[in-house]
Amino acid sequence: MRKALRSLVFAGLAAASLSAFAQQTGAVRIDFLGPGGHSSGAYGRTSALHAASRTVMRIQQTLPAGSYMMTNLTGGNSVNSIASDGLVELRLTAATAPAYQQLLTAVTAAANYGADTENAFRNVKVGDLTSGAPAWIRTVVTPQ
């Protein structure tokens, strides 16, 4: 009887471990593109790195703890320039495929929020140009 009970307990632990391994995980890359420029001559332009930072803060506010891990936040070329590019990389973890899709949707919303907020802060609208290039921040979310 004791041996059978022990076998049932170990079987239950094995099943619990299996569900942990069956989680949905995946890397997500978020690219931000903007006009960039030199900090003195182009002061006031949108910054792709600021949009990326706003996105990270939004993700921290809206996604459940333990459902993501930030792996990279980078952008710009030098200390005295306005970043024309920004990059956020993270890993999402969810118990089911639908829950993973919800996280991916939330990350996309956060990326759009980051870009929209930076554009609004700099009073730039989609379609505005600066030196013939798009003046607004664009974002691309790519599941890896």
Q: Which residues pair with 88 in a beta bridge?
A: 30, 73
Assess whether pLDDT exceeds 70 at residue 112.
Answer: yes
> What pLDDT digit, counting tens, does each position of 38-47 carry?
777 767 789 9
> What pLDDT digit, counting tens, does each position of 113-131 carry?
999 999 999 999 999 988 8
> What pLDDT digit, counting tens, does each position of 5-39 carry?
445 444 444 444 445 544 788 999 999 999 988 77
What pLDDT is attached to residue 42? 65
The matching CATH number, chosen from 3.30.70.360, 3.90.1150.10, 3.40.225.10, 3.40.50.2020, for 23-143 is 3.30.70.360
User: What Å distances lie between residue 4 and 1, 8, 17, 30, CA to CA?
Assistant: 5, 6, 20, 51
CB burial of residue 47 (10 Å; 0-12, 13-18, 19+): buried
